[in-house]
């Protein structure tokens, strides 16, 4: 009497498909979890090693007045400048349609009002996202023979900006701000880690930027 093996083969194939799916999900969770942990670890770093320049990443500004997010970054850059971490500060960022000021110009004016000499501030008025801004800064600094930078942004943004800066040819480390909406609450901190985890994974996969708007009050 002949025995049919078709159902057994079908069941075996289904079991392998299930195993592959479960394995893929587990691997994805490991990658995402590992990246989130790395984002959190780098967010805790404050490296005040001497550099050629302090680079403060742009954020929203309103007719020349920095948003609270941007102001917190600028205050941190000013603090590093006073500690002589670097002899110059670079502000970076373009402007939206209808704006009178670029983020870079707004940041430069704020720092001048705080007492930073104008000739110690380089405004790179280019970039509508992190990647464009970092690449514009790299081009401007390398053209001036400068290659080491300490990056100032929000803590959760540190790993992605550092990765991009190093990919752009700079020797880069981070000293993020510890004030502002990005660190106000546990919710904003968790949102920042979540956002930056997937933005970094997207960049590593595609080498395109993926910037997301803040939910915290700016």
User: In tens digits, what is the pLDDT along the chain, a chain of 218 residues?
Assistant: 455 555 566 667 887 877 777 777 778 777 889 999 999 999 999 999 999 999 999 999 999 999 999 999 999 999 999 999 999 999 999 988 888 999 999 999 999 999 999 999 999 999 989 999 999 999 999 999 999 999 999 999 999 999 999 999 999 999 999 998 888 888 888 999 999 999 999 999 998 877 755 433 33
What is the Cα–Cα distance from 210 to 207, expressed in whole angstroms? Answer: 10
Cα separation, 133 vs 68, whole angstroms: 20
- Least Cα distance to 121 among 77, 153, 83, 169 occurs for 77
pLDDT for the residue 215: 39
Q: What is the model's pTM?
A: 0.85
Q: Of 102, 99, 108, which Cα lies nearest the Cα of 77?
A: 108
pLDDT, position 141: 98
């Amino acid at each position: 009497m002949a025995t049919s093996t078709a159902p057994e083969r079908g069941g075996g194939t289904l079991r392998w498909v299930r195993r592959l799916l479960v394995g893929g999900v587990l691997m994805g969770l490991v990658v995402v979890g590992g990246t989130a942990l790395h984002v959190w670890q780098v967010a805790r770093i404050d490296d005040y090693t001497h550099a050629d320049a302090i680079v403060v990443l742009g954020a929203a500004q309103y007719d020349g007045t920095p948003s609270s997010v941007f102001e917190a970054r600028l205050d941190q850059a000013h603090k590093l400048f006073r500690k002589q971490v670097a002899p110059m500060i670079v502000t970076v960022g373009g402007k939206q349609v209808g704006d009178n000021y670029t983020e870079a110009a707004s940041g430069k004016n704020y720092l001048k009002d705080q007492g930073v000499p104008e000739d110690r501030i380089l405004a790179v008025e280019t970039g509508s996202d992190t990647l464009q801004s970092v690449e514009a800064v790299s081009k401007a600094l390398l053209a001036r023979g400068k290659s080491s930078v300490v990056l100032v942004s929000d803590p959760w943004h540190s790993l992605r900006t550092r990765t991009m800066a190093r990919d752009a040819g700079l020797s880069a480390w981070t000293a993020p701000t510890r004030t502002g909406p990005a660190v106000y609450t546990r919710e904003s901190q968790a949102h920042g880690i979540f956002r930056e985890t997937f933005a970094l994974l997207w960049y590593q996969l595609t080498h395109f930027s993926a910037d997301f708007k803040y939910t915290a009050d700016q």
